[in-house]
Amino acid sequence: MAFDIVGDIVILKPPLKYPPEEYVKKILEKHKFVRVILLQQTDVQPPYRVPEYKVLWGENRTETIHKEFGLKFKVDVVRTYYSPRLSNERYRIAKMIGDGERVLVMFAGVNPYAIYIVKFARPKVVYSIELNPFAVKYGLENVEINKVQNKIITILGDVRKVPPLISLFGNKSGYIHSEETYILDTLSSGIVLNLSVIEPCADYRIQELYDKIPAGKKYIVTNNIGSLENPYKYNGFVRIDRNKFYVYNFNENVVEEYKLFGEMFDRIIMPLPREADTFLDVAIPLIKENGIIHLYQFMFEDEIPEKANEILDKYASLLGFEYKILNIKKVGDIAPRQYRVCIDFEITKKDC
Ligand SMILES: C[S@@+](CC[C@H](N)C(=O)[O-])C[C@H]1O[C@@H](n2cnc3c(N)ncnc32)[C@H](O)[C@@H]1O
């Protein structure tokens, strides 16, 4: 019987050999603390990588607090990705971080990597970027619960959109893109941002939805402010020009200048196994020479280690870098002879 325990919630994974009630009975006999039992109905679904579930037994609740390695993670298992099976891997990564490193965690979920890193190492700062507004909301809460507020900057948004403007974002800020369902999710998550950067959109309904997102300051991205109908309802706008971007604040009548992509990172963690490699074009401009990337991928037993070289060779010639693989670590199986692996590699030379 395959199941995960997240806090006091049990997630039963198909295929089931017997009727579900038999599993419920066995689980309850053995684990007295369990309050909810869910049956996983699907594989993880895009964009937030959360499966669908059916409630088999227990309270009408999907939020819980999970404890591992002395840390606490608040999650809602139907709204946010969380795997208790990756705890050893998070610890392995944290123990590799050198003193004073600048670390970027892409696809950050409810912030487990960032929190492990700050608890078990001494980085200078950890940036987390996550698309799912519900996950970011829990991620911010988890930073507080584990008392690591002063080193983690949690940013809501797409890994493709945030990095060019990363020096503008502080903790609790985000880039909200103009897809309607995304804005609605951001609204229903209840997250309140200190600062939000938004994309212009010709659809007035989308503009109206944007206006409902609570945020201390709101900027719109545009290189042609004259083309917008009513820009003054925002605090200002962001204009991108070659390798710089400029922030125009309407009220204060000041312009701030920033370098696109900001300061580079010593280490980048990319835990999105199905497609993390397709984001290497984002990671490479952000990593220092001699910096380290931890790239997660799914691989069959007989593809290890050749596929790792194949993937990295392809991107090295496309993006212009040289690399050295430090380790290829199997991080649990996902099917017979198929594994989640982490490729730890160093960028030995960059042309870009
Ligand atoms: C496999 S989960 C990993 C979450 C977390 N790192 C962990 O280990 O629990 C991948 C996460 O990436 C997020 N994600 C997917 N595409 C993204 C994108 N383009 N930009 C930012 N986050 C993204 C999903 O919402 C999901 O939370």
pTM (global) more than 0.75: yes
Say if residue 154's pLDDT is above 90: yes
In what helix (H) or strand (E) does residue 175 lie, and over which residues does it extend? strand 173-176
23 Cα–ligand 1 center, Å: 30
Per-residue pLDDT band for 114 (boundaries 50, 70, 90) equals very high
In what helix (H) or strand (E) does residue 255 lie, and over which residues does it extend? strand 254-259
Which tokens is 286 given?
A: 């952000």
Mean pLDDT for 3-21 is: 95
Q: Is the CB of 271 under 6 A from ligand 1?
A: yes
314 Cα–ligand 1 center, Å: 24
337 Cα–ligand 1 center, Å: 24
Of the given ranges (75-89, 202-216, 309-323), which has the lowest mean pLDDT?
Answer: 202-216
Domains, the chain? 3-76 (3.30.300.110), 109-259 (no CATH), 265-350 (3.40.50.150)
48 Cα–ligand 1 center, Å: 6
Neighbours of 157 (CB within 10 A): 25
Say if residue 138's pLDDT is above 70: yes
Q: Exposed/middle/buried for 226, CB within 10 Å: 0-12, 13-18, 19+?
A: exposed
Mean pLDDT for 22-34 is: 96
- Residue identified by tokens 């809602």 is 76
Q: Is the CB of 133 under 6 A from ligand 1?
A: no
228 Cα–ligand 1 center, Å: 32
104 Cα–ligand 1 center, Å: 13
Give the per-residue pLDDT at 226.
Answer: 87
105 Cα–ligand 1 center, Å: 10
Q: At residue 34, what are phi and psi to the nearest 5 degrees?
A: -70, 135
Q: Could you give the count of Cα atoms lying within 13 Å of 233 in the half-sphere of its Cβ? A: 10
Residue among 4, 127, 131 to mutate when testing ligand 1 (max atoms within 8 A of CB): 131
**Which contacts qualify for 92-101: CB closer than 8 Å, 24 or more apart?**
92/329, 93/117, 93/269, 93/294, 93/342, 94/119, 94/120, 94/121, 95/120, 95/121, 96/121, 96/292, 96/344, 97/121, 97/122, 97/123, 97/267, 98/266, 99/123, 100/124, 101/266, 101/267
Report d(CA 50, CA 22) in Å as an integer: 26
Mean pLDDT for 144-160 is: 97
> Residues with Cβ < 8 Å from 225, sequence gap 6 or more?
231, 237, 239, 248
Q: Across the strands, what pairs with 342?
A: 296, 329
Q: What residue owns the CA closest to ligand 1's atom 12?
A: 107
- Residue identified by tokens 């706008």 is 237
- Kindly report, residue by residue over 221-277, the tens digit of the pLDDT: 999 998 888 889 999 999 999 999 999 999 888 899 999 999 999 999 999 999 999
Give the per-residue pLDDT at 14.
Answer: 92
Q: Which residues of 88-101 are buried (b: 16+ CB within 10 A; e: fewer)?
A: ebbebbbebbeeeb
Q: Are 137 and 114 in contact (CB under 8 A)?
A: no
Neighbours of 184 (CB within 10 A): 13
Say if residue 335's pLDDT is above 90: no
Mean pLDDT for 134-143 is: 98
Which tokens is 27 given?
A: 């689980």
Say if residue 352's pLDDT is above 90: no
Q: Is the CB of 108 under 6 A from ligand 1?
A: yes
Mean pLDDT for 58-81 is: 97
Q: Is the CB of 130 under 6 A from ligand 1?
A: yes
Q: Is the CB of 82 under 6 A from ligand 1?
A: yes
21 Cα–ligand 1 center, Å: 33
Residue among 4, 81, 268 to mutate when testing ligand 1 (max atoms within 8 A of CB): 81
- Residue identified by tokens 């300051």 is 217
60 Cα–ligand 1 center, Å: 26
Mean pLDDT for 209-231 is: 92
Chain mean pLDDT for the chain: 96
Ligand 1 atom closest to 273 (CA): 1
Q: Is the CB of 49 under 6 A from ligand 1?
A: yes
Nearest to 210 by CA among 233, 242, 228: 233
Say if residue 1's pLDDT is above 70: no
Q: Is the CB of 296 under 6 A from ligand 1?
A: no
Mean pLDDT for 55-84 is: 97
Mean pLDDT for 203-221 is: 94
Q: Is the CB of 339 under 6 A from ligand 1?
A: no
Report d(CA 199, CA 323) in Å as an integer: 35
How many angstroms separate the Cα of 311 from the Cα of each of 47, 315, 340? 23, 7, 15
Mean pLDDT for 58-74 is: 97
